[in-house]
Structure 1
Amino acid sequence: MENQLKAVSLLRTTKLIKAYQEYRAVDEVSMTINQGDIYGFIGKNGAGKTTFIRMLTNLIEKSSGSIEFFSGKENIKIGAVIESPACYPYLSAQANLAYYAIQVDLPDKQERIKEVLEFIGLGDVGEKMFKDFSLGMKQRLGIGLAILNKPNLLILDEPTNGLDPQGIVEIREIIKKLNQQYQTTILVSSHILSELSMIATRYGIIHQGKLVKEVTTQELEHECEKPILLSSVDDQNCQTILKKEGYIVDVAANGLIINAEKSKMPDISRLLFRHQLNLTYFSYKEESLEEYYLKVTR
């Protein structure tokens, strides 16, 4: 069921451009987001992430290109938090949600507000004024406003920017719960790549206004695979044994390089142990998302 959902497009842009005179902040970006995705939108500050998101949410007009939303028979509902939550500082969390519920003509307002406050972890501070909130609490309330009308697509622009580690974990858990329990499709932009790698199912990398790569988590894992490295008390004998078993083996300065997947490590270990060859070094290191980003944007 999950794979079927992911095959259905929810958002597609085609050669989307935002130009300021001769400068293109977004340059012919063609992106596809499928139902069920947590789409990690990666790029350094100034790469074009926020400009792209502002076009999706009609905050600025596109220069050219197209934006298409798909949601079957129903009108698509979009929630968004761009840069910082737009809340009234002298209203409580509950009052801010109530005001927005009136704007979107939300049925069962009180029940839904209570549900959202509990979901974002602010159920016990609903009467507290927004101005007295910590940055993490403000960001969670912003997400609460964005999900109040149960959107098909949630757009979050740098939601963990400036947060302490605890605040980052809280936002991460909210994103995962929205996606897994409520099947909300989420576009989340960030330049903190280690954080995106913990939640995203697909990635889009933008650099100097251009979308240079779209990749699934599975494709990323495959592209980030590195060979197995080992050394032993007798590297030459190791090489002979491994080649007999069909492994591709090269000699390195301090041991052997085996062109095999990480999952083969237990098999290799058992094979060499049977031949009484003790390993002095045995390692497999995957390329990080940061390293991969630097590679594709060079």
Structure 2
Amino acid sequence: MGKPIKIQKKTVIVEAENGKFSGIIDRHSCWHNVMLTDAPHSTHSGRGVVDTDNKTGSYIEVTYDATWSGPHLITARYTHIKKDLRPGTISINGNNVGTLTMFQTNALPAWKTESIVTDLKKGKNIIRLSAINVGGLPNMDYIKVAEVRNIPEGDLPNILILEAEDGVFTGKEDHHSCWNFIAQIHGKHSGFTGEGYVDTDNKKGSFIEVEYNALKGGEYNLGVRYVHGKTDVRPAQVVVNNTIVNPSMVFVPTPAWTEWTTITTPIKLKSGKNIVRLNAVSEEGLTNIDHFKFTVN
């Protein structure tokens, strides 16, 4: 007799945002601490980070149009989990004005900022951060520029975030939202898969509906990946091809808004196109839904 054939269970993921739904697509990667905070779960601002080449002289360069001539606070936001120091020199219009040490961070999603005060001229200024060591720079998120002066009454201070990936740099643009823990790893810093997640309307009857083309009919497991940082339970009705197959799939709270989990329910699919729908049973709607995973039994 020959060797036994190992049957692979085929798994397909259908992103919630690719279906139909009531509510919005949210592209935040780690929610409450997203954008400009420096909490352990925070992630990059803008559309990505810059991962420079690992060599001395690697750089990031951005342009800032100053509304006045005088002192400005220059802040660099970065993350770096390796043990080596990744300092960089800051130059303004070709002139070296200081050095940022940029120490190690606690985790890749745990950002730090470091700042210096220097004079800028009114008008266009070229701000360049250059690596001193052979490791290059840390992963750079942005350079923030803020005026240091007494603002006349009625005026607004000029504070501008200059995304690193919008400048000139050596290296690559990285779009990971929480790096090592992204996608389907259920760690505390994990983020959504795909382009976002679905945040439905907070009302009974809110829904998400996706289409799945099965190669053959039969028994499947439906996994739904979600996150829910509030204290209420949010059950959902599971409907397959207009038939209720689970009247109450229970979505309990997760430990944090950044800590995703997956729950499963058995379903039966037909060969070809299948419409799978979650209907909110409670008045608060559904939890934040990331994707649907179809696994052949």
**Common topology (TM > 0.5):** no
The TM-score range, normalised by the shorter chain, is under 0.3
Q: Which of structures 1 and 2 has the larger relative contact order (alpha carbons within 8 angstroms, sep 6+)?
A: 2
> TM-score, normalised on structure 2?
0.24
